[in-house]
Structure formats: structure tokens, C-alpha cells
Structure 1
Amino acid sequence: MAKSKFRPLHDRVVVRRVESEEKTKGGIIIPDTAKEKPQEGEIIAVGSGARDESGKLVPLDVKVGDRVLFGKWSGTEVKLNDEDLLIMKESDIMGVIA
């Protein structure tokens, strides 16, 4: 992603979807109309964190560069610098891929 001036707030992250496979394991090409949007992505920006009950800032567990899995309907789709991205809360992320 080109250097963006966008910075998510609080416990939100910006995710770039990882492109899904063009073929099945058996070699069948999947047409664009049959593909589902991938539920895997790379974090490209993170907010500063959420505040707990006492007002203390709690940093996020994820960081820029992490590959993550998220729910099918997670996040809000946005277009930044001509790139389709997702903005979601950290709680919408199911896990980090090691």
C-alpha cells in the first residue's frame, strides 16, 4: 500500500484481504463469479488501543504485518488510495496466522 495518511482510531485495524486461489487443488479454475471473498488478510494499520474501565490505554494484540483470520461479515469495506480494504475492530479478528 502506498503511504497513507489514514490512521484508525482506538481498537480498529485496517486489513488488506489476501487474494484467494484461482484454481482448486484438482486444477479446476474458479471463475470470479463463484469466488467467495477471502477471510484472511494482512494488517496494514492499527489504532492506539482501547481504554479500560479505569481509563488506562490497552494496546492491541495485533500489529502491522500480521496475517489474520476474520469472520465472513466482519469489518467495513472502504477504498483508500484506489485499494479495497477493510476497517474492523480487533475483536472481529479470530486469530493470527503464525
Structure 2
Amino acid sequence: MAKKKNSNTGFEYVEPIGDRVLVRKDEPKRETRGGIALPDAAEIPTITGRIVTISAVVENDDELPLRQYDKILFHPKNAIPVDLEHDNQLFVIPVEDVVAVFRRDPPAE
């Protein structure tokens, strides 16, 4: 679970409910693969990130290959921002918006 120390109330936890995961999105790219620097005004949507935590529903579903710390590619349309950090990089993502999981090895057959 993502947590933040709050001086007044102790800790706050973010636990996704239902078919959702909590994702820390990757920083937007400031340079192309060829090394061309992009101006700050250029908006290139960042749609990759790391799963911070998963809901109990996702954790107990053997059909969903999502685990904590997986790097994923997701569709940002339904991403819900979580205002828990100053840089606001946390988002709750429905699992149907996760379109790919990055793996080092192919799945065993």
C-alpha cells in the first residue's frame, strides 16, 4: 500500500478497490531516441509506470498477470490521480486500461 506520514492523523494508506492497481507513472521523456532535445511545451503522454500496489481482487485472480513492482504500459484516459505526494505521480488505474506488462523472460509454457 502507498502511504504518507501525515503529522495530524498518522499514516494514510491508498489501497485500490476492485479491479484496479496503484501506479507510479514514469517521468516524461525530454529527449528522442536519436538524442534530439524536446522543448518543454511539447507534450508527449507518458503511459508507462510501475505498479506500487494491487487490490485484493487483482492479487487473488490467477488470470491477471499483474504483480507489485511490474512495469506496465497503460491507457491514461481513466487514470485517477492520487494527491498523496508533492510530485503527484501516483494514479489508480483500472486493470482493463493496462495494455501490456514488460517482462525480461517470456512466460513458461
Indicate the TM-score class for this superposition, using the shorter chain for normalisation.
0.7 to 0.9
**Identical columns (%):** 28
Residue 81 (structure 2) pairs with residue 77 (structure 1): yes
Distance in 2 between residues matched to 1:86 and 1:38, nearest whole Å? 12
Deviation readout 1:37-75 (Å, 9 max, x if unpaired) = 21111000110016xxxxxx6364311100001114231
Do structure 1's residue 10 and structure 2's residue 15 form an aligned pair?
Answer: no
Distance in 2 (CA, whole Å) between partners of 1:13 and 1:46 is 4
CA-based RMSD = 2.0
CA gap of 1:25–1:61, structure 2 versus 1, over 3 A, is: closer
Calculate the TM-score normalised by the size of structure 2.
0.70
Aligned to 1:58: 61
With CA pairs under 8 Å and 6+ residues apart, which has the higher RCO, 1 or 2?
1
Q: What amino acid does structure 1 have at the position aligned with 2:75?
A: G
Q: CA deviation at 1:79?
A: 1.7
Partner of 1:30: 38
The alpha-carbon deviation at position 89 of structure 1 amounts to: 1.1
Shift in Å, 1:91:
1.3
Q: Which consecutive residues of structure 1, in runs of 5 or more, have no partner in the other structure?
A: 51-56
Aligned length: 90
| TM-score, normalising length: structure 1 | 0.77
Equivalent in 45, 55, 76 of residue 53 of structure 2: 45
